[in-house]
Amino acid sequence: MKTIDELLADGVSGKRVFVRADLNVPLADGTITDDGRIRAVLPTVKALADAGAKVVVASHLGRPKGAPDPAFSLLPAAERLGELLGAPVAFAQDTVGPAAHDAVDGLQPGQVAVIENLRFNPGETSKDDTERGEFADRLAALADVYVGDGFGAVHRKHASVYDLPARLPHYAGYLIATEVGVLKKLTEDVKRPYVVALGGAKVSDKLAVIDQLLGKADRLLIGGGMAYTFLKAKGYEVGISLLQEDQVPVVTEYLERAEKQGVELLLPVDVVVSREFPDLKTKAPTENTVVDADKIPADQEGLDIGPRTRELYASKLADAETVFWNGPMGVFEHPDYAEGTKAVAQALVGSKGFTVVGGGDSAAAVRTLGFDENAFGHISTGGGASLEYLEGKTLPGLAALED
């Protein structure tokens, strides 16, 4: 795929450059709680603006129902982008209507505008090729060139990700080029030992990537809510812990495959349990205990990996040359259940190998728990996109930039 450096070499002064970013930041009462994704697109936006382009930034945020919804407005993200750029950013209150055209027409070379949430238009996410194409046509009218830099959305066959690049000269931004380079290090000529730590709530979200990694990784460390389906497959009582009973047969097969293929698939040996889920708003202290993983009381739920598991997992990460981590080890948003996730993050910080934090909740945990982002080899902006790449899937947004 052609990169932004090639575009800049050809010259962009005065051209309208459409940057498909990922500004899908978490909001609490209209306030951004993690601006990592905005900061990730800064190098691309700044390089284009410095070269004299008229930069039109577009993104989705959340899952509105194909119509305007103030709760999902990109205005806070546009304001934060302006703060980080140190320059005013125009904001259009629609996607392809009069406000968007006025904002773009009003740009001078080197200036930036953000248009409203793309998902406020049903054409963005439509499964109908014609409807998506019509929206892409209207977006194309706002620009002369397309730069794809929203890695967190490249696994979606959406108008601004898949259809729009076909209508304009297209290039990969710095973020996408970096993300793809990192993922190639995880799939081609991998330095070993290769250790993968997987957590998060649902084992069903990770089955396909586990299937692929059983033939590639040397060790798989399992934590988070998904671990309890594995423990159930071992015949253990998991109490009222998060469980996907229908996935137990598949997980049982994976445990058998791992043993046959010589892949270490490690499960928690102890867990932190409680009778009730913690209040994540007040973060009030909870009553909890540590029990062996095969002795979870029937009326309690596992909310974090225990201290012996933390030590075990840290030891299994210590000599790794390559590490991929996706998904927290417990309910890290509450201080009583953050120690497992902290332990994995700290092990990556202390590693001499190439460490990748696979976006989503893992990236949020790193920032929430106060770790220096520069201490990791790479923090991805796209958890779902990273997983689908590792699953071996063709990602529509990358395919659109390659032709």
Read off the pLDDT of residues 90-143 as tens digits, 9 standing for 90 and up: 999 999 999 999 999 999 999 999 999 999 999 999 999 999 999 999 999 999
d(CA 291, CA 5): 55
173 appears as a binding residue in the annotation:
no
Give the C-alpha distances (Å, rounded to integers) separating 229 from 112, 125, 241: 48, 33, 9
Rounded Cα distance between 361 and 370, Å, is 14
Give the model's pLDDT for residue 383: 81
392: confidence class by pLDDT, cuts 50, 70, 90: confident
Q: What is the pLDDT of residue 131?
A: 98
pLDDT at 382: 84
Report pLDDT digits (tens) over 7-25.
Answer: 999 999 999 999 999 999 9
β-pairing verdict for 219-222 and 264-266: parallel
Tens of pLDDT, residues 322-358: 999 999 999 999 999 999 999 999 999 999 999 999 8
Helices (H), 86-237: 98-105, 129-140, 174-187, 207-213, 227-233
What is the pLDDT at residue 71? 94
Contacts of 74 (CB under 8 A, 6+ apart): 23, 59, 61, 91, 114, 115, 116, 117
Mean pLDDT to the nearest integer, 389-401:
93
Residue 8 annotated as binding?
no
Was 295 annotated as part of a binding site? no
Q: Flag whether pLDDT at 359 surpasses 80.
A: no
User: Which pLDDT does position 293 carry in this prediction?
Assistant: 98
126 among the known binding-site residues?
no
What's the token pair of residue 49? 């603006």
Q: Are strands 354-357 and 378-379 parallel, antiparallel or unpaired?
A: parallel
Give residues with Cβ within 8 angstroms of 344, minimum separation 6. 197, 199, 221, 223, 310, 313, 314, 317, 325, 329
Residues identified as active-site: 37, 202, 360, 384
Q: Is 61 annotated as a binding residue?
A: yes
Q: Is 119 annotated as a binding residue?
A: yes
- Single out the residue of 111, 135, 110, 134 nearest to residue 121, CA to CA: 135
Q: Is 60 annotated as a binding residue?
A: yes
- What's residue 34's pLDDT? 87
Mean pLDDT estimate for the chain: 95
Residue 361, marked binder:
yes
180 has which bridge partners?
A: none
pLDDT, position 68? 95
CA distance 241 to 113: 46
Please write the tens of the pLDDT for every residue from 180-232: 999 999 998 899 999 999 999 889 989 999 999 998 999 999 999 999 999 99
pLDDT of residue 48: 98
Rounded average pLDDT over 264-268: 97
Asked if residue 72 lies in contact with residue 64, where contact means CB atoms within 8 angstroms, the answer is yes
Rounded CA-CA distance 327/361 in Å is: 6
Local confidence band at 44 (pLDDT 50, 70, 90 cut-offs): very high
How many angstroms separate the CA atoms of 350 and 353, rounded?
9
How far is residue 286's CA from residue 333's CA, in Å, rounded to a whole number? 13
How many CA atoms, within 13 angstroms, populate the side-chain half-sphere of residue 250? 14
> Is 360 assigned a ligand-binding role in the annotation?
yes
- pLDDT of res. 202: 87
Residue type, position 195, single letter: V
Does residue 324 sit in helix, strand or coil? Answer: strand
